[in-house]
Chain A
Amino acid sequence: MPPVVEHVELDKKPQKPRLGGGGPGKIPHRWGFGGGDDGDYGHHEDFVSRRDRLRRYRVAMVITIVSVTALFVGVTTVYFLRGTHGPWDPVEKTYLENWQPVILPYRILIINTVVLLLSSITLELGRRGLLKKSEFVSMGIRPPKLQTEFPWIAITALLGFAFLAGQIIVWHSLRAQGLYLASQNPNSFFFYLLTGLHAIHLSGGLLALLISLFGSWLKLRFDSQQIAVDVTGWYWHFMGVLWLYIFVLLRFAM
């Protein structure tokens, strides 16, 4: 039996893989995926560890967005199924027609949309600035004014609150039309369901913004604050897109 060679050089050509899955040999270079030790035990100011942490949270955010999308796909499917034809009435032996059109308060809705899209821009400005600064910080260069981006975040949060307030006005005006959540008309309760779920998800983003905004009081490190703003930025843009989708859906399906 040939002897085992211990401690070969890492860069030797890989052996032919055997059955046990991806064979022995050198450590492959890694592009993008995977990577190194986990940041929480390393030096926090370390360049690689911060980048790693950022990437990790971004991946997690993308996955979160997939999950929220699945939730809304579920609701939309029911909306369409419920809308195409009414349900069977076993007593009257007909399909019921309880799908009644709804007059949407367009003016407020459009203002709301503009507010939300604007907030996406302000948040993006803040996100980019912070990202740049945190790269400097991790290279050991401390920019003279570290937190000048936070006004952008504060403005975003205010716009977010304005959007939520606008939605409350919309719900009021629907109720003035006699359209309630408790209703026989699917258009009515689907409106509340879709906009309500969106508002709840947006509030989550708002909470994250507030946490990063008041992060220094909560003893968050600068790079954690930056990561929080960064991934919340992604989430926030997604909320904007989701809102456009809901708006279009409600506009054309009702």
Chain B
Amino acid sequence: MGTTKPTAQGLLRRYVFTTDHKVVGLQYFFLSLAAVLVGTFLSLLMRIHLVWPQAAIPFLGQIKPENYLAYLTIHGTLMVFFVLSTVPQNGFGTYLLPLQLGASEMALPRLSMAGFWITLLSFFVLIAAFFAPGGASLAGWTQYPPLSAVPSAGPGQGTGTDLWLVSIGLFCVASVLSSINFITTTLKMRTRGMTLMRMPLTCWTWFVAAILILLAFSILLAAVIMLLLDRNAGTNFFVPANLLISGHAVDHQGGSPLLWQHLFWFFGHPEVYIAILPGMGVTSHLLSVFSRKPVFGYKAMVGAILAIGFLGFMVWGHHMFVSGMNPYAGFAFSSLTTAIAVPSAIKVFNWLGTLWGGRFRFTTPMLFSIGFVSLFITGGLTGPILAQPALDAYLHDTYFVVAHFHLIMAMAGLFAVFAATYFWFPKMFGRMMNSTLGSAHFWVTFFGAYAIFMPMHLLGIAGHPRRYSELTGVQYVAAMAPLQQFITAAAIITICGQLLFLINFFWSMFKGAAAGANPWECTTLEWTLPSPPPREGFGNQSPLVYQGAYEYSVPGASKDFLMQDSTATPQ
């Protein structure tokens, strides 16, 4: 403290092996930033390969089919696990949850630290697969057996797949540890006056997402352990009998690959909500702040969050309509899936209700939040189409599905992350991000997202299957080449547009205009602290909470908002 020079060990404790939730949150943030850069680079390689299969890439040479599939696997894994399940929940959540609840630490600070370091290890294990003999796994982020269970099935199916499984196993452990921490923090660390129904919706979504993580990732861990045993210990959970690979019989017997699909999607569907729920919370929060209006239907929002979490566990079968499941089961999954559209629609309705008649401030985070709503609606409309088994029989494993989930999960999720970054950057670094660059970034990304993923619907309807590196000699696919070229061009432009964000981010970190404690005039508790908040958070003076989280444009108040710890009672 004070004037004494910090020791090396002190710095290590402060910034590296730290239990400070604010630093851990930023560590997660930068890990995800690294992951998203690698993942985006891989997607660029794939897009280039799709339109110029013969092109030689500098340093990498020509992309062989197995390279393409390896890029596909690692791209999906990085984006789903290390970006969309990491930064909205563990990045922003670890940083903000305690502050928004009026606490100065997570409930179990050492667990935060452990969670981050295990996630980091898991990241390195995943990336190491590229340097393993045979390269990374070819089986996609869903790792269906028998492809993923038999090492002789392809070049990346040896060490590469083992590394994938170990990495995801570690990731499961880290996620479960961190979710235990989130749930405990929400239950036990709220300051006096912070009732559940006064929590910001962000806290609600982190809380419910943590419950989903707890259950879903525990199941995935079980599945990953069994698949690892199948591969390395000679058990027979997932490998069917009499399997021939390149003419050689596999000596496994009698497992069932469908079991893996059930386990995986029992995890996988909640997982997509884990990725999007925090984004929904951020969007609700920001739309309210920048419309200067209370969230429309706070209680309905909480109800919808809970309903989505609950229903999310009962619809996994919609990923398996074409697996030969009993038509009655298909019908049940189809109905339940359609039912999930109801709470989703409630949320959309309430976002529009929040916007209705607002006094808008079109800041960069507001733009990205509106973009989120737009993308969520567009992507959401294709969901109920895919939820019809008869339609899905045709559309399954085509680019239509790719379009659906990229719009609703990847793009909407990323827009929420951008919104949150622009919004909380001043709190985290004490400086504002540039808003001109910010709006430019928004418009490029917004039109880019639509330009890339809307045409994929057409590809899918025309019957273009997903996950193929090349379909040479297939007539109707060759006819789609112009559309593919357009998508690749749009992708290249959009990816270049992200430089606007990176430049803005790092430039503003050092050179941005100084931000006050509460630059956005927001009500929640983190804005009562200086920017950036001191190490000890609220210290010994935990705040007392008297107000709900969204008291904007309160009639009779002297300002147009009431901080949550304000004692004013306007008449």
Contact = CB atoms under 8 A, between A and B. Distances in A.
B108 interface: yes
A81 B188 contact: no
B254 A18 contact: no
A1 interface: yes
Given A18-B551, A20-B294, A60 B556 contact: no
A5 B234 CA distance: 74
A218 interface: no
Given A21-B299, A24-B569, A40-B105, A87 B256 contact: yes
A181 B235 contact: yes
A189 B236 contact: yes
A78 B540 CA distance: 50
User: What 10 pairs between A and B have smallest CB-CB spacing?
Assistant: A182-B234, A20-B550, A74-B222, A20-B294, A21-B298, A22-B197, A70-B218, A21-B548, A22-B198, A19-B294
Interface string A37-79: 1101110000000001001110110011011101111110110
Interface size class of B (residues with CB under 8 A): 35 or more
Given A12-B569, A78-B222, A87-B255, 5 more contacts: A30-B192, A37-B103, A71-B219, A89-B241, A90-B240
Contacts of B219: 70-71, 73-74
Contact of A67 (B215, B229, B562, B571): B215
A41 B542 CA distance: 11
B179 to A, nearest CB: 8
B545 to A, nearest CB: 7
Q: Most chain-B Cβ atoms within 10 A of its Cβ — which of A20, A89, A189?
A: A20
Interface in A80-129: 81-82, 86-92, 96, 98
A27 interface: yes
B569 A15 contact: yes
B549 A38 contact: no
A2 B236 contact: no
Q: Most chain-A Cβ atoms within 10 A of its Cβ — which of B184, B215, B254, B544?
A: B254
A252 interface: no
14 contacts: A5-B571, A15-B569, A19-B294, A21-B550, A35-B188, A41-B104, A42-B540, A67-B218, A70-B215, A82-B255, A86-B254, A89-B254, A186-B254, A193-B235
Given A18-B548, A20-B548, A96-B241, A71 B222 contact: yes
Contact of A2 (B222, B544, B562, B571): B571
Interface in B66-105: 103-105
Nearest to A26: B546
B558 interface: yes
A142 to B, nearest CB: 26
Contacts of B542: 36-37
Contacts of A28: 193, 195
A6 B105 contact: no
A193 to B, nearest CB: 7
Contacts of A20: 288, 294-295, 298, 547-552
A215 interface: no
A88 B256 CA distance: 8
A87 B254 contact: yes
A140 interface: no
Contact of B294 (A21, A60, A75, A182): A21
A217 interface: no
Nearest to B101: A34
A68 B218 contact: yes
Nearest to A87: B256
A60 B181 contact: yes
A87 B243 CA distance: 13
B556 A1 contact: yes
A183 B104 CA distance: 53
A7 interface: yes
Interface of A: 1-8, 12, 15, 17-28, 30, 33-38, 40-42, 52, 55-57, 59-60, 63-64, 66-68, 70-75, 77-78, 81-82, 86-92, 96, 98, 180-184, 186, 189, 193, 197
A34 B548 contact: no
A8 B567 contact: yes
B229 A22 contact: no
A88 B189 CA distance: 52
Given A4-B570, A20-B549, A91-B242, A41 B226 contact: no
B89 to A, nearest CB: 16
A19 B298 contact: yes
B311 interface: no
A37 B548 CA distance: 20
B109 interface: yes
Given A20-B550, A23-B548, A38 B235 contact: no
B180 interface: yes
Contact of A184 (B221, B222, B253, B546): B253
Contacts of B191: 34, 36-37
A30 B241 CA distance: 59
A18 B222 contact: no
Contacts of B536: 41
B125 interface: no
Interface string B313-331: 0000000000000000000
Given A56-B188, A59-B188, A60-B181, A87 B241 contact: yes
A73 to B, nearest CB: 8
A122 to B, nearest CB: 27
A38 B103 contact: yes
A249 to B, nearest CB: 15
A240 to B, nearest CB: 20
A41 B255 contact: no
A7 B556 CA distance: 15
Nearest to B567: A7
Nearest to B197: A22
Nearest to B243: A90
Contacts of A67: 176, 179-180, 214-215, 218
Contacts of B105: 38, 40-41
B483 interface: no
A74 B109 contact: no
Contacts of B188: 33-35, 52, 55-56, 59
Nearest to A66: B214
A52 B241 CA distance: 55
A68 B222 CA distance: 10
A82 B536 CA distance: 53
Interface string B526-565: 0000000000101110101111111110111110001000
B259 interface: yes
A22 B548 contact: yes
A16 to B, nearest CB: 11
Contacts of B297: 19
Interface string B185-205: 001111111111111000000
